[in-house]
Amino acid sequence: MTEELKKGLEGVLVAESSLSYIDGDEGKLVYRGYTIDDLAENASFEEVVYMLWHGELPNRDELSEFKAAMAEERHIDDGVQRLVRDLAEADEEPMAALRTIVSELSAYDPDADADPTDEAANLRKGRRITAKIPTALAAFARIRDGNDPVDPREDLDHAANFLYMLNGEEPDDVLADTFDMALVLHADHGLNASTFSATVTASTLADLHSAITSAVGTLSGSLHGGANQDVMEMLKEVDASDKDPLQWVQDAIEEGRRVPGFGHRVYNVKDPRAKILSKKSKALGEAGDMKWYDYSVAVEDFLTDEKGLAPNVDFYSASTYYQMGIPVDIYTPIFAMSRVGGWIAHVLEQYEDNRLIRPRARYVGPDDRSVPSLEER
């Protein structure tokens, strides 16, 4: 009996998880029983990460302790700082730089030699990775622009501290809250490609840094994490043209171009994260320039009405980040800065009940060949 081939593992169940659930028909995303709408409105990124790692939302004392512990880990070692500078001055692509930086962090981690399945050590390593990625990313972005890095502050929340290190000034509450919400929205999303990559690596009993490095490499592809950058490049192209957005998108489709930020392997309706971010994009536009939001709505309306396509999270994160003054080519590293919380949670879950992930492929090559001599080839 021929086994059914599932290309891309589509529809294949490979694990059980208590971390997040997606209802693609209803447009629903849940972290550990809490809807993304509830969390985005009522929980900070630190609270969400704590919940993903520990199973429950923290109480006041647990949150205070967790935030303090995270803040203490924000500084990066001199060797990592030198690497960040070298990568920035070499004009390395940001996701490639982040992949290398995450790997380098292991050289300075006090728990680097711990057993890969040591949960306490992994929680400490996870805390360091999560806390140091924003510092390294902000330093990379500033150095390549000819500016000095800004040291992290321990008195700011995770989101506000990143914006402070990136721009050199403390963000106002609106920007800090908007960015924090964006981090919450991106923190986990089931067994997506990068999360699966992390769990595959962890299933070999490789260490946490190796698993997260695998995930960063997987996220770098345009079919996964790179779409939000592509969306913003598209919106800038619309702005630079002499066409209205509706005409631009009609022409693009006639030319056979793929419009980024639409469609999803799981969602059959509008991504619930896109609904939340569209409101944030509109609010930022009302306080500044509405054109980016207006362009986005025009493109969405046409593709939804004419093609039955719904936007995913990347579509509105693009205009939201752009209006916050974030450089376009670090959108995907920011995605990683958030999703690392989910990656670590899934790796911890994998280690708890580990089995080596080893699928098979159907062989379709030639049969019954004999090796000819060199003279006969």
Q: Hey, which residues are catalytic here? A: 224, 264, 314
Residue 202 CA to residue 356 CA, distance in Å, equals: 8
Q: Are 183 and 157 in contact (CB under 8 A)?
A: no
Residue 201 CA to residue 204 CA, distance in Å, equals: 6
**∠ CA 207-208-214, rounded to 5°:** 95
Q: Are 171 and 68 in contact (CB under 8 A)?
A: no
Q: Are 94 and 329 in contact (CB under 8 A)?
A: yes
Residue 335 CA to residue 163 CA, distance in Å, equals: 14
Which of 169, 236, 194 lies closest to 332, judged by CA? 194
- Edge-to-edge order in the sheet of strand 20-23: 20-23, 28-31, 34-35
Residue 111 CA to residue 113 CA, distance in Å, equals: 5
Q: Are 222 and 52 in contact (CB under 8 A)?
A: no
Residue 342 CA to residue 340 CA, distance in Å, equals: 5
Three-state DSSP string of 232-294: HHHHHHHHHCCCCHHHHHHHHHHCCCCCCCECCCCCCCCCHHHHHHHHHHHHHHHCCCCHHHH
Residue 341 CA to residue 186 CA, distance in Å, equals: 9
